[in-house]
Each structure stands twice: as C-alpha cells, then as structure tokens.
C-alpha cells in the first residue's frame, strides 16, 4: 500500500502542545506512516509521541522540519499527491473517490497537510487537492481522522500495530489491557 505522511504546519509550543499531540496520535492511530511537525521545535511534543509508539506499537515516524515549503516540494518531486485539509476546499464526499483512485489504483503516496491558525496562501496553490471535511469550522484533529477514515473505509480502526507492549482487549464495561512485554 502507498504511504501517507502528515505535515502539521505552524506549531507553537505555548499554544498548540495539546492539539498537536492529538494530531500526532490521530495520524498514528488512523494509519499514517509518520508525521512532520513544522513551526517551533518542541522536544516534549516529539518525545511524548515517541513514547506512545514505544508502548502501543508502530511503525510510525515523528519528525520536526522547520522548512515546510521544502517538505511539500520534496514530496511533490517524489510523486506524492498533496492533500491540504481546509474548510474552504472541495467537500470530502465530492472528491474522495478521485483521491481513493489515485491512492489505490495509481499507487500514489499522500502528503496530508493540516494547518494551525492561518495557513499561507501558497499552500492552497501547492496542493493537488484542497479538501474540506464539511465546509464548517471545526478541528484539524477531526478533519485528519475523518479524512483517513474515509480513505481507508474504516479498516484502519482494526489495524494491528507492530512491537506493541500494550494492547487493549475491547470490552463492554471497564478496561482490559494485555501486557505484551514486561519491559514497561
């Protein structure tokens, strides 16, 4: 299967720590291969996500790269399809089949871009697709999750992660956690 990378624009340590953490966790849980954080370097953010991968499995890569424009151009040169999630774009139901076709049939890797506050206009230009997860204001965390869920048609929710030390056994009430390693 082709790869999906997520590029998170404009992270600010003071303001975005929790939302960016959610973005990273969603990228992993919903089947991306990795996430690239642009904006301020935030070691605590990167480390906390790496710890989740150690505990709950992967593979999932976590990277900081200051120059987001270079990331987009490099991925474009590598033939990635650039998908920018924005409330102003074409609504997901209008465009998902075309993206699925390029991903599954043409085997295109994807770079999925999500912004923090204000996204520079050039991102809209560099993107192959500007996609709205509904044309309403909500959340880049939700947008990323729903986009990946539609792309994978729900299969990502049943994915097994490799080298997990912990695994949840689904249950009706309470919590069942399987320890797969003593090294926790």
Where on the chain is the footprint of a copy of itself (CB under 8 A)? 15-16, 18-19, 22-23, 25-26, 28-30, 52, 56, 87-94, 121, 124-125, 127, 130, 132-139, 141-142, 144-146, 149-150, 154, 156-159, 161, 167-177
Smaller CB separation from a copy of itself, 75 or 84: 84
In the complex, least distance from residue 43 CB atom to a copy of itself, rounded to whole angstroms = 20
Give me the residues paired with residue 109 across strands: none
Smaller CB separation from a copy of itself, 44 or 135: 135
In the complex, least distance from residue 174 CB atom to a copy of itself, rounded to whole angstroms = 6
The Cα–Cα gap between 156 and 61 comes to 17
Smaller CB separation from a copy of itself, 7 or 25: 25
Closest by CA position to 73, among listed 143, 168, 7: 7
Give me the residues paired with residue 64 across strands: 37
In the complex, least distance from residue 47 CB atom to a copy of itself, rounded to whole angstroms = 15
Smaller CB separation from a copy of itself, 107 or 155: 155
Bond into 124 cis (ω within 30): no
Judge whether 114 and 9 are in contact, CB under 8 Å: yes
Secondary structure of 126-164 in HEC code, one letter for each residue = HCCEEEECCCCCCCHHHHHHHHHHHHHCCHHHHCCCECC
In the complex, least distance from residue 121 CB atom to a copy of itself, rounded to whole angstroms = 7
- Estimate the crossing angle of helix 43-56 against helix 13-29, to 10 degrees: 20
Smaller CB separation from a copy of itself, 22 or 108: 22
In the complex, least distance from residue 69 CB atom to a copy of itself, rounded to whole angstroms = 17
């Amino acid at each position: 299967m082709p790869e999906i990378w997520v590029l998170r624009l404009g992270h600010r340590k003071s303001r975005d720590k929790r939302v960016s953490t959610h973005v990273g966790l969603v990228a992993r849980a919903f089947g991306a291969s990795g996430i690239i954080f642009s904006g301020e370097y935030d070691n605590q953010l990167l480390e906390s996500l790496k710890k989740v991968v150690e505990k709950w499995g992967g593979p999932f890569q976590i990277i900081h790269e200051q120059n987001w424009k270079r990331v987009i151009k490099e991925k474009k040169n590598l033939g990635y399809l650039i998908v920018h999630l924005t409330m102003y774009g074409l609504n997901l139901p209008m465009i998902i089949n075309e993206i699925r076709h390029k991903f599954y049939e043409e085997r295109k890797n994807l770079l999925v871009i999500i912004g923090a506050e204000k996204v520079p206009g050039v991102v809209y230009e560099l993107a192959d697709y500007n996609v709205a997860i509904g044309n309403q204001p909500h959340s880049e965390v939700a947008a990323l999750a729903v986009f990946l869920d539609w792309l994978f048609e729900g299969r990502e929710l049943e994915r097994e992660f490799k080298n997990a030390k912990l695994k949840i056994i689904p249950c009706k009430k309470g919590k069942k956690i399987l320890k797969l390693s003593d090294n926790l």
